[in-house]
Structure 1
Amino acid sequence: MAPAAARNRDPIADVLAEELPASGLVLEIASGTGEHAVHFARRFPALDWQPSDPDGDALLSIAAWREHEGLANVRRPLELDASPGAWPIAQADAIVCINMVHISPLEATLGVLKHAADLLGAGAPLIFYGPYFENDVETAPSNRDFDTSLKMRNRAWGLRRLDWLDHEAAKRGFERTRRVAMPANNLTLVYRKPR
């Protein structure tokens, strides 16, 4: 089990409980190992969970967790690159993206916003989780160090500014409806297209 997933899954699920629809299809972007997908599917049995990832090893891990847990509401994982190219799904009732924005190039986040605008109806939630830089909020030293280490691994990675994400989301018809401070200096951010 991934330590970060074990640590953050319940706090994230508590926010999801207040933001996800009662039923429908949730598309999870960059599902990684698949541990969040099975945990959330167990917590929300009336929702169908669609995990996805661009990485072959991650897809195998997701499939293994899905088989191990035997949950009827977890779909087979989709190979999905978050960049603006074509996506293998036509509709969703919510989109969840955990810990991807800072460990991917900007194009991946822009792709999520572009496709979310097409896939989600008015009022449906687009939910991001992870660390961000914020105006008028002092950045925790651990987040500054994390940003430096990410950029050393890949110059296209790094913590993003929350005002940048708000601006890009607004260009695609979304407005941020919630910001929740989470453990370990992370945020859960909820965006919706007005009804």
Structure 2
Amino acid sequence: MDKPYAPSCDNNRGPILAVLQQYFTAPATVLELGSGTGQHAAWLPAHLPHLTWQPSELADNLPGIRAWLNDAALPNVAAPIPLDMAAPWPALDFDHLFSVNTFHILAADEVARAIATGGARLPAGGLFVVYGPFNYDGDFTSDSNARFDGWLRARNPASGLRDQGWVVEQMQTAGLTLIADHAMPANNRTLVFRKA
């Protein structure tokens, strides 16, 4: 099959890797929530060989992820599993959570549900690393983010950029503390939370 392709994945993977290398330092299992096209799962773990990488996505998107993983043939990446972030998660063990460009796709209540589930399932010391565009104090950080938010809401009024402060509150309610907020290219951020 033709592999799905998102140019943004090629553009952001290097900066994302640089952040992950600071935090995912010990052998661990990382559950990637919303693996999208599968491009990150087919590239990032090659540079993090001490990790076991578990991709997950909505069932309809799994064939595309499998196509990327089949070509990459990385020994530390598990077969992708069906997982709806906003629905009950399947039983599986993981040490950390990682998600790229999902919070602005989901509705706010779905984001809150995913954070609550993740917080409940993470072990003590586990990290929840989230990459994407965020607002700060209710304001867009760039004109491009404002346009992107408008485009998202035109497609689905329930989607849109989330405010960083709101995400921090949801994480705190789920037992997670913000330990880092990294500025990334193209007006994105990487937020790193740790389970108490």
Above 0.5 in TM-score? yes
The one-letter code of the counterpart of 2:54 is: Q
Q: Cα offset for 1:19?
A: 1.1
Q: How does 1:116-127 map to 2 (within 5 A)?
A: 116-127=118-129
Partner residue, 2:191? 189
Aligned residues: 192
The one-letter code of the counterpart of 2:15 is: P
The answer to whether the aligner puts 1:129 opposite 2:127 as a matched pair is: no
| Residue 32 (structure 1) aligned to one of 32, 36, 44 | 36
TM-score, normalised via structure 2 length: 0.93
The answer to whether the aligner puts 1:54 opposite 2:58 as a matched pair is: yes
Structure 1 gap segments, 5+ residues each: none
Partner residue, 2:22? 18
The answer to whether the aligner puts 1:143 opposite 2:129 as a matched pair is: no
Aligned partners of 1:82, 1:117: CA distance in 2, in Å?
A: 13
Partner residue, 1:114? 116
Aligned partners of 1:152, 1:46: CA distance in 2, in Å?
A: 42
Q: Deviations over 1:88-131 (max 9, x none)?
A: 13321110010000011123312321221222112211000000
Percent identity over the alignment is 37
Q: Cα offset for 1:136?
A: 8.6
Structure 2 gap segments, 5+ residues each: none
Q: Deviations over 1:16-44 (max 9, x none)?
A: 00011411210000001111011111011
Richer in helix (by share): 1
TM-score, normalised via structure 1 length: 0.94
